[in-house]
Structure 1
Amino acid sequence: MIYLDYAATTPMSEVALCAYNEGSQLYFGNASSLHDIGMNARDALQLCRKQHSLFLNGETEGIYFTSGGTEANILAILSIVQAYKSKGNHLITTKVEHASLFHLFQQLENDGFEVTYLDVNEHGTIQLDILKQAIRPTTILASIHHGNGEIGTVQPLEEIGEILKAHQIIFHSDCVQTYGEIKIDVKKCKVDSISVSSHKIYGPKGVGFCYISPSVLWKSIYDGTTHEDGFRPGTVDVPSIVSFTAAAQHMMETMEERAANYNQLRTLFLQDIKKLSDKIMVEQSLEAQLPQIIGLTCLHVQGQYMMLECNRHGICISTGSACQVGMESPSRTMLAIGKSESEAKCFIRISLGSKTTKEELERTVIVMERIFQSLPSL
């Protein structure tokens, strides 16, 4: 099989597998236990916390390990909103956030909060003037993702951070698609909180973290919780966190090399797919773009059909966010950038990874061409 769905999840790297194996043997103790084995696990956990904070130019005490990006998003927003709800009830987000955040903000509306969902332009970028206009005296938090998981658009975090900081609004950003791919400096970007997931960077599934600046207040949503300073309940999975940290270290060390490779592969793929320009449209940003994510709209062919046909030919692609698979409604991102419902249902995503080769992409274009040729109406 040719795997081109790395934005959904990645296989564990050799570095991560080795670290997990070693961590399971050395740090199997409960990090909350007071005996030596528990203290060893706690020391390893603290070392991992420090390492991730260095990657972000953040503070060690701001790292809270979670079960993944979704939980990190939910806990970050709820715990911060709980702490600041006496100061206001207005929240800002975008129409193209990950499902975990989009549905959370809908829930918060039911709980009495007012939410503004920012529009994006045809490339998926928010407009700073529209953000400024959305701010109210009662605005307490804005959640704007860093990189879009469907079309790869990268939001201007520094400019957004400047605006929000000037109005003393807390800034959360979902960085699940960008951690390890783009340098993130929470201080430079004035980001107060971010969410990250391990399985997007060749680490194990079921682990991630939320970073909340120590200068920001938060209130635990779980009474009586002691783990992670009360941020979330449950015994901390130290071996997985050790593996996650090793994967992140490798990603940081190879970031420039991988970016250059992705850009080269992307260029070759887009040149090759020009032969299908009357059948496929490329969705990309003209400003900032994750090169490894290639969004495509198939003209007159539903994305689900193209995905299933590619799978029949041994190629794994996606119709968008894995968290939306099986849903009948079209992609919110596609609708937000101006597509009709029928056009949005024709979307597919190809996402590159560390094992992707030029030959695999060439094969993919050939298969897509054959699929189109097999349709009598085209």
Structure 2
Amino acid sequence: MGKLLYLDNAATTKTAPEVVDAMLPYFTEHYGNPSSVYSFSSGNKEMISKQREAIADTLGASANEIYFTAGGSESDNWALKATAEAYAGKGNHIITTKIEHHAILHTAQYLEKRGFEVTYVDVDEDGKVKLDELKAAIRPTTILISVMFANNEIGTIQPIKEIGEIAKEHGILFHTDAVQAYGQLPINVDECHIDMLSASGHKFNGPKGIGFLYIRKGVKIRSFVHGGAQERKRRAGTENVPGIVGIGTAAKRAANTREERVAKEIEVRDYLIDRVLKEIPYCRLNGHRTDRLPNNANFSFRFVEGESLLIMLDMKGICASSGSACTSGSLDPSHVLLAIGLPHEIAHGSLRLTINEEITKEDIDYVVDNLKEIVAHLRNMSPLYEDFVKKQK
């Protein structure tokens, strides 16, 4: 295989070597079921507690507020469905946004079919939630506000603290999907008035198939999986000990390396953005210019079809995406790009590049040099571009 540059870290990340090393003994040596009473398994139970504490420390939370799940989608489903069920006696109204991950949007639609009412708040052209509209959407029957910490496609960071204050002021539970933000941004659940928070291990160099849901003490949401006493009777099923060790190790690694890692990512990200905007005409950066995830750059190129762009980049050994990996098979334009006001034809020509700390400016030079050639090639085959050029002359 030739050159490979992986710039799709929003879809998943490489599991860090130290994370793999920490996990391995729990497949072959310490394989006991943590719920068993004999001493061979007690060490695994203690190890789960240590990882729970480690994750809680990264959020300013308590260990008994961390519940392990199979990943971000399960955590999102749990937060919405169990809250709706538990607080149905108080109200039936939920507020979210038009740019949430489909794990939230599809769950909200599921609840709508079961009698709940959902308001989908607009965002501005940078993808920021309109706080006035959010406040205006609140009703006496509102039981939950769910807004993602940072968008998985365009990288825009939301005013989470302000949203949390609004929710607290009105006595409404506040959930945030922090799958993209956790490990990249500092998060304190008390400072931001967060009642529930979703995260997924494979987004911050941990293993796939493991995540967690932070649930603030006192929040009365119901059990999500029935059948056993695991996770304090809220999520039944034998614990994924290797996965829990992996996500805990990855969480500690992310916290310990964040400052230096993020500074490097921002420098390389901005170098990428500056080169693309200066050197490729008729393109735009999607998302807020500065209030964005350190590793995210999302562009739209006029007169270019996104799928063709990705295929030709792949031929050069460059892994990228046009949006969420969960909708990669869809022919529809991104709901996020439509929500920030892009027309269909421009939204179809989007490219998301998400870097990691290993990507260098030299790597970016290779990417941009090839991107320029590919965009020019695709435009030369476009009758729409040809007509556009003629009109400009």
Q: Distance in 2 between matches of 1:118 and 1:129?
A: 10
Aligned residue number for residue 190 of structure 1: 193
Is 2:118 aligned against 1:89?
no
Moved more, 6-15 or 221-230: 221-230
Please report how far the alpha carbon of residue 166 of structure 1 lies from its aligned counterpart in structure 2 after TM superposition: 0.5
Please report how far the alpha carbon of residue 218 of structure 1 lies from its aligned counterpart in structure 2 after TM superposition: 1.2
Q: Secondary structure at the match of 1:86?
A: coil
Question: Size of the alignment, in residue pairs?
Answer: 378
Please report how far the alpha carbon of residue 71 of structure 1 lies from its aligned counterpart in structure 2 after TM superposition: 0.6
Aligned residue number for residue 341 of structure 1: 344
Q: Distance in 2 between matches of 1:229 and 1:217?
A: 13
Q: Deviations over 1:339-368 (max 9, x none)?
A: 112221111100011221211111011111
Q: Secondary structure at the match of 1:254?
A: helix
Summarize the Cα distance change of 1:287–1:363 in structure 2 as closer, same or farther, 3 Å threshold.
closer
Q: Distance in 2 between matches of 1:371 and 1:53?
A: 45
Q: Distance in 2 between matches of 1:38 and 1:236?
A: 12
Letter in 1 for 2:76: N
Which residue, out of 99, 103, 106, partners 2:102? 99
Aligned residue number for residue 391 of structure 2: none
Q: How does 1:29-68 map to 2 (within 5 A)?
A: 29-68=32-71
Q: Distance in 2 between matches of 1:224 and 1:2?
A: 44
Q: Secondary structure at the match of 1:85?
A: coil
Q: Distance in 2 between matches of 1:137 and 1:361?
A: 51
Which residue, out of 246, 249, 270, partners 1:246? 249
Is 2:274 aligned against 1:271?
yes
Aligned residue number for residue 301 of structure 1: 304
Q: Distance in 1 between matches of 2:169 and 2:59?
A: 22
Q: How does 1:1-378 map to 2 (within 5 A)?
A: 1-286=4-289, 288-375=291-378, 376=380, 377=382
Q: Distance in 1 between matches of 2:225 and 2:153?
A: 33
Q: Distance in 2 between matches of 1:161 and 1:222?
A: 28
Moved more, 19-28 or 248-257: 19-28
Q: Deviations over 1:171-192 (max 9, x none)?
A: 0000000111111100110000
Preserved CA contact (<8 Å) 2:226 2:235: no
Letter in 2 for 1:305: S
Please report how far the alpha carbon of residue 275 of structure 1 lies from its aligned counterpart in structure 2 after TM superposition: 4.1
Please report how far the alpha carbon of residue 68 of structure 1 lies from its aligned counterpart in structure 2 after TM superposition: 0.6
Letter in 2 for 1:345: H
Q: Secondary structure at the match of 2:231?
A: helix
Summarize the Cα distance change of 1:223–1:20 in structure 2 as closer, same or farther, 3 Å threshold.
closer
Q: Distance in 1 between matches of 2:146 and 2:178?
A: 11
Q: Distance in 2 between matches of 1:8 and 1:164?
A: 30
Q: Deviations over 1:265-321 (max 9, x none)?
A: 012212222343413211131462112110100111011111111001111010100
Q: Distance in 2 between matches of 1:165 and 1:116?
A: 18
Gaps of 5+ in 1: none
Q: Deviations over 1:10-63 (max 9, x none)?
A: 011111111111343453211111111221111100111111111100121111
Letter in 2 for 1:230: K
Letter in 1 for 2:194: V
Preserved CA contact (<8 Å) 1:23 1:243: no
Normalising by structure 2, what TM-score? 0.93
Q: Secondary structure at the match of 1:58?
A: coil
Q: Distance in 2 between matches of 1:326 and 1:31?
A: 39
Q: Distance in 2 between matches of 1:280 and 1:27?
A: 53
Q: Distance in 2 between matches of 1:271 and 1:257?
A: 22
Preserved CA contact (<8 Å) 2:210 2:244: yes
Letter in 2 for 1:365: V
Preserved CA contact (<8 Å) 1:27 1:239: no
Aligned-residue CA RMSD in angstroms? 1.3
Letter in 2 for 1:306: L
Q: Distance in 2 between matches of 1:27 and 1:155?
A: 42
Q: Secondary structure at the match of 1:227?
A: coil
Preserved CA contact (<8 Å) 1:27 1:238: no
Q: Deviations over 1:78-109 (max 9, x none)?
A: 12221111100000000011111110000100
Please report how far the alpha carbon of residue 123 of structure 1 lies from its aligned counterpart in structure 2 after TM superposition: 0.3
Moved more, 298-307 or 117-126: 298-307
Q: Distance in 1 between matches of 2:187 and 2:25?
A: 29
Q: Distance in 2 between matches of 1:238 and 1:222?
A: 18
Gaps of 5+ in 2: 386-393
Letter in 1 for 2:164: G
